C-alpha cells in the first residue's frame, strides 16, 4: 500500500516536473561540462532581498561570491516592494514608544495562525528571531524608516516598520551598497538556464549554466549554489497549473521577471517542493491596473487606526484587521467591483504622510472631499475598468456612524474586528478620503523545500549537497497565507542563513 502511495506521489511529481520543464524549455538531465568558464566559491542566483543578503553574508564569511541576475538591474520584486517590514523590535524601539511592546512569541504565533498552521515552525522562528538582526544591520548601513509602527491584517502586535519612502527600493539600495562595499561581483543580464548536478537526481550541485549577451557560460560553484530567484506569480501558466480559477482577468502586482524558472530548474535535478497551490492575492491593488502602487499600501497600514473598507453599496464587507486571503475573498464575494478604503484627515499621519496622500490625489488614486456625501459623488464620478458604481451616500454615512459606535464600544459585533482603544480613531471630521482597491495576484507561498539551515531537500527528504535556497523561491515558511510585511525578513534572514551556510557550513546564531 505504502509503495503504491509513494509511487503515486513520485508519478505526480514527475508529471508536474514535466509540465514545469516544458515551461522552462529545458527538459532532461545535462551532463556537467568537463571544464568551466568561471569559478567562484559561492554562486548566488537572483538579486532581490534574498540573493543580495546571501551574497553579502557569503562574502563577509570569507567566500569568493558572485551574484547572477537575469535583468539589467538588481531588485526583482524587492525593488517595487511597499517597504513594510515586520520585526518585533529594533534599535529604534518604535512599538515600545507607542506603548505597545511586542514579543517574538507573539510574532511567531500570528505567523503560524496566519498561515493556518501549515508553515514550518522552525523556518518561522528563523524569520522572527532574525528579523531585528537584519533590520538593525540595515539601519546601521543607512536605511531610514518612518517614525510610525502599524498593525496590519493578521498581525496582532505593532511590529510593521515602514521605510522612509514606503518602498522596498530603500532596502534594496542599502543592500546593494553593502554588497558592493563587501566586494561581491555582480553579473547583470545573466540568466541561469540550468543547474548542474553530478548525476541525474544524485550527488552534489556543481554549478550553473548561464545565458549572456555574449553566449552561454558554465560557472563552477566550489562551495555551493544559492537559489534566490523569487516567486512565480507573473507566470500565468504556472499559476494556473496550481490554481486554475485564477484567470488572466485577475491582475498581477509582480515584476516581469517573477516567472519561476528557478523553481522548475531545481525540481529538474530532484529538489522537492511544497505548497505551490497557496497563491496570495493582494486585496488592495489599483482596480484599474492590478498594480500595487504606493497608494495601495495605505489600506494595508491603516486597519488598527480605524480605516474602513466598504463595498460598492457603501457597506462594510470584512473585518479590516483580517489576513490578506480573507480580505481578498470577501472583496471578490462582495457582490460588486471594486471596494474602497475610507478614512479621515485625522488618521493620515498615523499610517501615511500628508505629502504622499496629496501625491495620490494628484494621480487620482485617492479622492478627497469635505463631506461624506461629496466623497460618494467623487467615488461615483469615476470609472473602474470602464465600469461605473452607484454607491448610495446614505449607506456610507450610516456605515461610518455605526463603525464610530463600535470604536467607542471597543467591539465590532458585525465582523469581530479587534479594536485597540486609544489607537483606533473615529471618522468624524473632514476632509474625508477614499482609495479604490481590488485583489491582484501577489505572492507564491510555495517553492523548493528547505531545511532550517536553508539547504535544499530532495524528493526523499535528503539534503542536496552544495544547494541552498532563500526567499520567495522557497516554500513552507508562510503556510497557506503570508502575513504582509513578513516577506522582507523571510527573504533577508534566509539569505543570511544560506550565505553563511554555503561559505562556512555553519548557520548564523539568531537567538
Ligand atoms: C509590488 C509588491 C510589493 C510588496 N511589498 C512588500 C512589503 O512591503 N513587505 C514585504 O514584506 N513583502 C512585500 N512584497 C513581497 C516581497 O517583495 C517579495 O516576496 C520579495 O521581494 C521576494 O524577494 P526575493 O529575493 O525572493 O525575490 P525577488 O526580489 O523577486 O528577486 C529574484 C530575482 O531573481 C531574478 N531571477 C529570476 N530567475 C532568474 C534566472 N533564471 N537567472 C538569473 N536571475 C533570475 C529575478 O529577475 C529577480 O531579480 C511585495 C511584493 C510585491 C510584488
pLDDT score of 26: 54
Nearest-atom index, ligand 1, CA of 229: 34
- Tell me how far apart the alpha carbons of residues 136 and 85 are, in angstroms, rounded to a whole number: 12
Phi, psi torsion values for 254, nearest 5 degrees: -85, 165
Q: Is the pTM of this model over 0.85?
A: yes
Q: 433 near 426, Cβ under 8 Å?
A: no
Hey, what's the cell of 499?
A: 550565505
From the CA of 295, how far away is ligand 1's center (Å)? 20
- Cβ-based neighbours of 24, under 8 Å, separated by 6 or more: 261, 264, 265, 268
Hey, what's the cell of 288?
A: 484599474
- The response to whether residue 258 sits with its C-beta less than 6 Å from ligand 1 reads yes
- Tell me how far apart the alpha carbons of residues 404 and 155 are, in angstroms, rounded to a whole number: 22
Ligand 1, from 71, 75, 78, 160: best to mutate by most atoms within 8 Å of Cβ?
Answer: 78
- Tell me how far apart the alpha carbons of residues 437 and 324 are, in angstroms, rounded to a whole number: 13
Q: 135 near 149, Cβ under 8 Å?
A: no
Q: Look at the domain 2-278+445-504 and name its fold.
A: FAD/NAD(P)-binding domain (3.50.50)
Number of H helices, E strands in the chain: 16, 19
Other residues' Cβ atoms within 10 Å of the Cβ of residue 93: 11
Hey, what's the cell of 374?
A: 461629496
The bridge status of strand 202-212 relative to strand 191-199 is antiparallel
From the CA of 228, how far away is ligand 1's center (Å)? 9
pLDDT score of 405: 98
Is cis: bond before 113, omega within 30 of 0?
Answer: no
> Is the backbone of residue 335 left (phi > 0), alpha (psi -120 to 50) or beta?
left
Nearest-atom index, ligand 1, CA of 258: 30
From the CA of 188, how far away is ligand 1's center (Å)? 16
Phi, psi torsion values for 63, nearest 5 degrees: -90, 150
- Tell me how far apart the alpha carbons of residues 207 and 402 are, in angstroms, rounded to a whole number: 62
Candidates 330, 436, 317, 329; CA nearest to 388 is 436
pLDDT along the chain (511 residues), means of 10: 39 42 63 97 98 98 98 97 97 96 98 98 98 98 97 97 97 98 98 97 97 97 98 97 92 97 97 98 98 97 97 98 97 97 97 97 98 98 97 98 98 97 96 98 98 98 98 98 98 98 98 92
Same fold, 2-278+445-504 and 284-441: no
- The response to whether residue 175 sits with its C-beta less than 6 Å from ligand 1 reads no
- Tell me how far apart the alpha carbons of residues 291 and 253 are, in angstroms, rounded to a whole number: 5
Question: Three-state SS string across 100-132, please?
Answer: CCCCHHHHHHHHHHHCCCCCCHHHHHHHHHHHH
Ligand 1, from 160, 171, 225, 230: best to mutate by most atoms within 8 Å of Cβ?
Answer: 230
pLDDT score of 359: 98
- Match 527573504 to its residue by C-alpha cell: 491
- Tell me how far apart the alpha carbons of residues 239 and 60 are, in angstroms, rounded to a whole number: 37
Hey, what's the cell of 364?
A: 487620482
DSSP state of 309: E
Domain boundaries, the chain: 2-278+445-504, 284-441
pLDDT score of 10: 39
- The response to whether residue 304 sits with its C-beta less than 6 Å from ligand 1 reads no
- The string over 366-394, giving b where at least 16 C-beta atoms fall within 10 Å of a residue's C-beta and e elsewhere, is bbbbeebebbbebbeeeebeeeebebebe
Q: 464 near 457, Cβ under 8 Å?
A: yes
β-sheet with 447-449: strand ranges across: 273-274, 447-449, 474-475
Q: Cite the active site residues.
A: 324
The CATH label, of 3.30.420.480, 2.60.120.10, 3.90.700.10, 3.40.50.2000, for the domain at 284-441 is: 3.90.700.10
Radius of gyration for the alpha carbons in the chain, expressed in angstroms and rounded:
23
Candidates 141, 161, 270, 118; CA nearest to 205 is 270
- β-bridge partners, 44: 67, 226
- β-bridge partners, 224: 42
- Tell me how far apart the alpha carbons of residues 156 and 151 are, in angstroms, rounded to a whole number: 6
- The response to whether residue 154 sits with its C-beta less than 6 Å from ligand 1 reads no
Amino acid at each position: 500500500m505504502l509503495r503504491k502511495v509513494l509511487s503515486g506521489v513520485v508519478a505526480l511529481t514527475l508529471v508536474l516536473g514535466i509540465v514545469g520543464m516544458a515551461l522552462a524549455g529545458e527538459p532532461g538531465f545535462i551532463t556537467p561540462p568537463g571544464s568551466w568558464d568561471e569559478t567562484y566559491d559561492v554562486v548566488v542566483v537572483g538579486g532581490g532581498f534574498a540573493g543580495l543578503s546571501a551574497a553579502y553574508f557569503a562574502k563577509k564569511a570569507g567566500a569568493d561570491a558572485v551574484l547572477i541576475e537575469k535583468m539589467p538591474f538588481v531588485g526583482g520584486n524587492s525593488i517595487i516592494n511597499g517597504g513594510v517590514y515586520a520585526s518585533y523590535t529594533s534599535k529604534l524601539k518604535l512599538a515600545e514608544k507607542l506603548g505597545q511592546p511586542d514579543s517574538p512569541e507573539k510574532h511567531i504565533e500570528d505567523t503560524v495562525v496566519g498561515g493556518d498552521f501549515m508553515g514550518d515552525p522552525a523556518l518561522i522562528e528563523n524569520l522572527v528571531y532574525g528579523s531585528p538582526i537584519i533590520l538593525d544591520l540595515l539601519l546601521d548601513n543607512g536605511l531610514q524608516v518612518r517614525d510610525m509602527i502599524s498593525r496590519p491584517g493578521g498581525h496582532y502586535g505593532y511590529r510593521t516598520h515602514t521605510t522612509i519612502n514606503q518602498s522596498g527600493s530603500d532596502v534594496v539600495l542599502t543592500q546593494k551598497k553593502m554588497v558592493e562595499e563587501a566586494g561581491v561581483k555582480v553579473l547583470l543580464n545573466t540568466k541561469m538556464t540550468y543547474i548542474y548536478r553530478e548525476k541525474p537526481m544524485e550527488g552534489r550541485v556543481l554549478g550553473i549554466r548561464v545565458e549572456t549577451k555574449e553566449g552561454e557560460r558554465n560557472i563552477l560553484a566550489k562551495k555551493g549554489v544559492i537559489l534566490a530567484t523569487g516567486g512565480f506569480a507573473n507566470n500565468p501558466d504556472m499559476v494556473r497549473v496550481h490554481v486554475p480559477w485564477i484567470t488572466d482577468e485577475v491582475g498581477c502586482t509582480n515584476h516581469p521577471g517573477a516567472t519561476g524558472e528557478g523553481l522548475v530548474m531545481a525540481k529538474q535535478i530532484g529538489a522537492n517542493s511544497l505548497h505551490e497551490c497557496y497563491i496570495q492575492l493582494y486585496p488592495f491593488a489599483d482596480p484599474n491596473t492590478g498594480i500595487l502602487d504606493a497608494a495601495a499600501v495605505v489600506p494595508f497600514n491603516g486597519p488598527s487606526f480605524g480605516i474602513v473598507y466598504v463595498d460598492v453599496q457603501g457597506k462594510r464587507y470584512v473585518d479590516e484587521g483580517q489576513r490578506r486571503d480573507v480580505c481578498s475573498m470577501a472583496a471578490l464575494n462582495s457582490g460588486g467591483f471594486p471596494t474602497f478604503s475610507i478614512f479621515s484627515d485625522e488618521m493620515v499621519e498615523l499610517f501615511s504622510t500628508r505629502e504622499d496622500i496629496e501625491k495620490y490625489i494628484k494621480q487620482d488614486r485617492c479622492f478627497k472631499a469635505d463631506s461624506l456625501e461629496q466623497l460618494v459623488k467623487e467615488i461615483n464620478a469615476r470609472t473602474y475598468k470602464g465600469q461605473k458604481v452607484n454607491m448610495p451616500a446614505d449607506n456610507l454615512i450610516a456605515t461610518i456612524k455605526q463603525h464610530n459606535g463600535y470604536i467607542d464600544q471597543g467591539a465590532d459585533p458585525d465582523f469581530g474586528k479587534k479594536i485597540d482603544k486609544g489607537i483606533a480613531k473615529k471618522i468624524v471630521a473632514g476632509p474625508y478620503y477614499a482609495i479604490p482597491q481590488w485583489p491582484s495576484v501577489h505572492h507564491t507561498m510555495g517553492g523548493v523545500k528547505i531545511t532550517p539551515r536553508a539547504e535544499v531537500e530532495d524528493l526523499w527528504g535528503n539534503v542536496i549537497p552544495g544547494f541552498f535556497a532563500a526567499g520567495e523561491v522557497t516554500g513552507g515558511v508562510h503556510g497557506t497565507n503570508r502575513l504582509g510585511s513578513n516577506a522582507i525578513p523571510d527573504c533577508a534572514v534566509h539569505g543570511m542563513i544560506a550565505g553563511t551556510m554555503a561559505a562556512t557550513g555553519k548557520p548564523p546564531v539568531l537567538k
